[in-house]
């Protein structure tokens, strides 16, 4: 059976808005943990670095407009954003590549509270296979297809060296997985209908280095904040 895949509901929500929803959710969850019942659009915008007008427009796509003089109900807005992101149901995740990065991802405790279950860990190194990481026994990469079917894997995480990342991605896709998170330093080629999100920490550091240099050269004040994408 082909595993289900998380996608924002097709309601004409711009990709730029979808990209900001997790940022809103993180701030809302922090407010909820502090016992804050309501939040104004200005306060939520300030905590996320987004223009208040843009934030209100983003949330209007969810059918949430807040209450004048009161703001947004934090708990209900968490539900709305979570629902739109597909986090009100659980998504099974398989990580391939159980080196330092793969182990760190497996041990991250925040996935479970956000709707993601690490269901399988796989590696090609026989010296790693059988290790228990975050309570899960590492399986051999040869079992990938069986694991995807048995665990109904929705998201495949590629944390392998660049040289093997494409082949791992291909096997995920051939097994029916259509959402891939790629940590390998390589661009993955996938067919239409497969979503790939790339996480490249070195690129993010280089962008920060650029801004540090700009500040050092006097082009920007130390309090400069990167503008948000205006695409909407």
Does 90 belong to an annotated binding site?
Answer: no
pLDDT at 224 (0 to 100): 45
pLDDT in tens, the chain (232 residues): 445 444 444 457 888 999 899 999 999 999 999 999 999 999 999 999 999 999 999 999 988 777 887 899 999 999 999 888 887 777 899 999 999 999 999 998 778 767 789 999 999 999 999 999 999 999 999 999 999 999 999 999 999 999 999 999 999 999 999 999 999 999 999 999 999 999 988 888 888 898 888 888 776 544 544 555 555 4
Does 49 belong to an annotated binding site?
Answer: no
How many CB atoms neighbour CB 216 within 10 A? 9
Does 115 belong to an annotated binding site?
Answer: no
pLDDT at 211 (0 to 100): 82
Does 98 belong to an annotated binding site?
Answer: yes
pLDDT at 2 (0 to 100): 46
What are the residues whose beta carbons fall under 8 Å from the beta carbon of 125, sequence distance 6 or more?
98
How far is the C-alpha of 90 from the C-alpha of 227, rounded, in Å? Answer: 33
How far is the C-alpha of 60 from the C-alpha of 13, rounded, in Å? Answer: 10
How many CB atoms neighbour CB 72 within 10 A? 25
pLDDT at 121 (0 to 100): 98
pLDDT at 90 (0 to 100): 78
Does 35 belong to an annotated binding site?
Answer: no
How far is the C-alpha of 153 from the C-alpha of 5, rounded, in Å? Answer: 9
Domains (range + CATH), the chain: 15-85 (1.10.10.10), 91-202 (3.40.50.720)
Does 99 belong to an annotated binding site?
Answer: yes
Run of H or E including 169: helix 162-174
pLDDT at 230 (0 to 100): 52
How far is the C-alpha of 31 from the C-alpha of 51, rounded, in Å? Answer: 19
């Amino acid at each position: 059976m082909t595993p289900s895949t998380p996608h924002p509901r097709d309601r004409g929500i711009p990709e730029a808005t979808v990209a900001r929803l997790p940022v809103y959710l993180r701030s809302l969850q922090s407010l909820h943990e502090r016992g804050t019942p309501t939040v104004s659009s200005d306060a939520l915008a300030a905590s996320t670095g987004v223009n208040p007008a843009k934030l209100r427009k983003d949330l209007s796509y969810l059918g949430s407009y807040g209450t004048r003089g009161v703001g947004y109900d934090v708990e209900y807005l968490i539900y709305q954003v979570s629902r739109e992101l597909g986090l009100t149901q659980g998504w099974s995740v398989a990580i391939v590549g159980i080196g330092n990065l793969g182990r760190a991802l497996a041990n991250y405790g925040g996935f479970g509270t956000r709707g993601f279950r690490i269901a399988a860990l796989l590696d090609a190194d026989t010296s790693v296979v059988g290790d228990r990481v975050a309570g899960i026994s590492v399986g051999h990469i040869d079992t990938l297809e069986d694991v995807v079917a048995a665990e109904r894997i929705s998201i495949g995480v590629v944390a392998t060296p660049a040289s093997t990342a494409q082949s791992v991605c291909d096997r995920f896709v051939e097994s029916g997985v259509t959402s891939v998170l790629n940590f390998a330093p390589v661009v993955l080629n996938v067919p239409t209908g497969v979503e790939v999100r790339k996480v490249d920490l070195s690129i993010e550091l280089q962008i920060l280095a650029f801004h540090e240099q700009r500040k050092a050269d006097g082009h920007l004040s130390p309090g400069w904040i990167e503008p948000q994408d205006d695409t909407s």
